[in-house]
Amino acid sequence: MKALVKFGEADGDVEVREVPEPQLAPGTVLIAARAVGVCGSDIHMWRNKQSWETRLPVVLGHETAGVIAAVADDVEGWAVGDRVVCETAASICGTCALCRTGRYNLCPKRQGYGAIRDGAFGQLLQAEPRVLHRIPDNVTFEQAAMTEPFAVAYNALVERAPVNPGDVVVIQGIGAIGALSLQMAKLRGAGTTIVLGTPVDKERLAKAKLLGADITVDITTEDPADVIRSVGDGLGADLVVDATGVSAALKQGLELVRPLGSIVKIGWGPQPLGFSLDPLVAKAVTLYGSFSHTWTTWERVLELFSTGRLDTATVLGGVYDLEDWEQAFEHMESGRNIKSVMVMPG
Ligand SMILES: [Zn+2]
Ligand SMILES: [Zn+2]
């Protein structure tokens, strides 16, 4: 089958290749991928700037929506033709303290699709039933392909960091995770929402306005600290969401957060920090890391899609064929799209 493969460690070492089809092993199903989202992490891997473990060669893609194409004899409850989305933890140990308590996203032996295990930018994907969720009838494959990044935002702003009605929330970065975090903050009743970007984000900042951002700031022309001082009591943000891929964003976050406020860091950034964390102490700030999601997160996001509580139309910038993957990736990298989705052949 044709699949999009990362094969080397140089910038751009990604191409469409013929690869063997995954096998239907006991305890698994095969999913025919229909629509698969392009993640910021796929762009990082294309540029070889990822800061997580990978296997080479590996089929990229982990934001999967598709149809079950085959079911092993020992699997119950799933049938050929079921419309499904697929979580990203392709395998977990199942026995560690984190797995046993439902926090398998943090299992030390977790192997993710599109990094260690072959992902969904191909025709077929092997999956354990543990990671499957049914797509509601009124949700399209293209929408469903965005369940994963919405689940990332849901985990960060609902399950990890607090947002209370009326809070001032600052979102650093307006890639997909920034845009989806903005929606989650508003669902939780945030008061003023402020989204920060740079000139490359011009179009995406305009989309942030459509998604309900109260204030957008190009940080190269306006100091966000001045903006924050003009909001509410002027003491700063109750919550700062770091949805950038740059370590230095934390320095800015510490400046913008109010005393006793919180920062939730979602974006990865391999660069070492070159600044003092003293403001964290002086302001008694809580810093949360947030990674991935679990079963309930996915069910809740699908419920929010089905009930029309999340805006996927403004987020989805374009739908591309697998052969046009480079365009799909470039349109995200350049800031033209918040999210690109690819449709798989067959
Ligand atoms: Zn993703
Ligand atoms: Zn485990």
Q: Label residue 247 by pLDDT band (50, 70, 90).
A: confident
pLDDT score recorded for residue 293 = 95
Domain with residue 227: its CATH number is: 3.40.50.720
Q: pLDDT over 90 for what percent of the chain?
A: 94
| Distance from residue 111's CA to the centre of ligand 1 (Å) | 14
Q: Are 232 and 208 in contact (CB under 8 A)?
A: no
| Distance from residue 33's CA to the centre of ligand 2 (Å) | 27
Check pLDDT > 80 for residue 203: yes
pLDDT score recorded for residue 245 = 81
| Distance from residue 283's CA to the centre of ligand 1 (Å) | 32
Q: Label residue 155 by pLDDT band (50, 70, 90).
A: very high
The burial of 49, by beta-carbon neighbours within 10 Å (0-12 exposed, 13-18 middle, 19 or more buried), is given as: middle
| Distance from residue 26's CA to the centre of ligand 2 (Å) | 20
295-323 per-position pLDDT tens digit: 999 999 999 999 999 999 999 999 999 99
User: Cα 268 to the chain's mean position, in Å?
Assistant: 11
Same domain, 10 and 56: yes
Rounded to 5 degrees, φ, ψ at 323 are -65, -25
pLDDT score recorded for residue 275 = 94
What token pair was written down for 332?
Answer: 């995200």
50: in domain? yes
Which residues are within 5 Å of ligand 1 (an ion), measured at CB?
39, 148
Q: Label residue 66 by pLDDT band (50, 70, 90).
A: very high
82: in domain? yes
| Distance from residue 193's CA to the centre of ligand 2 (Å) | 37
306: in domain? no
Check pLDDT > 90 for residue 346: no
303: in domain? no
Nearest ligand to the CA of 114 is: 1
Same domain, 114 and 129: yes
How far apart CA 320 and CA 308 sit, in angstroms, is 24
| Distance from residue 96's CA to the centre of ligand 2 (Å) | 4
| Distance from residue 39's CA to the centre of ligand 1 (Å) | 4
| Distance from residue 230's CA to the centre of ligand 1 (Å) | 34
pLDDT score recorded for residue 51 = 82
Q: Label residue 172 by pLDDT band (50, 70, 90).
A: very high
Same domain, 241 and 139: no
Domain with residue 109: its CATH number is: 3.90.180.10
Same domain, 261 and 194: yes
Same domain, 21 and 99: yes
Q: Label residue 268 by pLDDT band (50, 70, 90).
A: confident
| Distance from residue 149's CA to the centre of ligand 1 (Å) | 5
What three-state secondary structure class fits 262?
strand
pLDDT average, residue stretch 252-271: 95
Residue 125, domain extent: 2-146+312-343
Same domain, 204 and 176: yes
Nearest ligand to the CA of 93 is: 2
User: Cα 141 to the chain's mean position, in Å?
Assistant: 17
| Distance from residue 272's CA to the centre of ligand 1 (Å) | 23
How far apart CA 122 and CA 135 sit, in angstroms, is 20
Nearest ligand to the CA of 87 is: 1
Q: Label residue 131 by pLDDT band (50, 70, 90).
A: very high
78: in domain? yes
What token pair was written down for 322?
Answer: 């697998």
Same domain, 190 and 134: no
Same domain, 134 and 209: no
User: Cα 75 to the chain's mean position, in Å?
Assistant: 29
pLDDT average, residue stretch 316-342: 96
pLDDT score recorded for residue 345 = 82
DSSP string, 150-212: HHHHHIIIIIIS---TT--EEEE--SHHHHHHHHHHHHTT-SSEEEEE-GGGHHHHHHHHHTT
297: in domain? no
| Distance from residue 95's CA to the centre of ligand 2 (Å) | 5
How far apart CA 284 and CA 274 sit, in angstroms, is 20
Counting the structural domains of the chain, the total is 2
pLDDT score recorded for residue 32 = 97
pTM of the model as a whole: 0.95
| Distance from residue 114's CA to the centre of ligand 1 (Å) | 10
304: in domain? no
Same domain, 216 and 118: no
pLDDT average, residue stretch 278-288: 98
300: in domain? no
Nearest ligand to the CA of 91 is: 2
Q: What is the mean pLDDT of the chain?
A: 96
| Distance from residue 161's CA to the centre of ligand 2 (Å) | 24
| Distance from residue 292's CA to the centre of ligand 1 (Å) | 9
Q: Label residue 128 by pLDDT band (50, 70, 90).
A: very high
pLDDT average, residue stretch 94-102: 97
Same domain, 332 and 271: no
**In the block, residue with structure tokens 């063997």:** 20
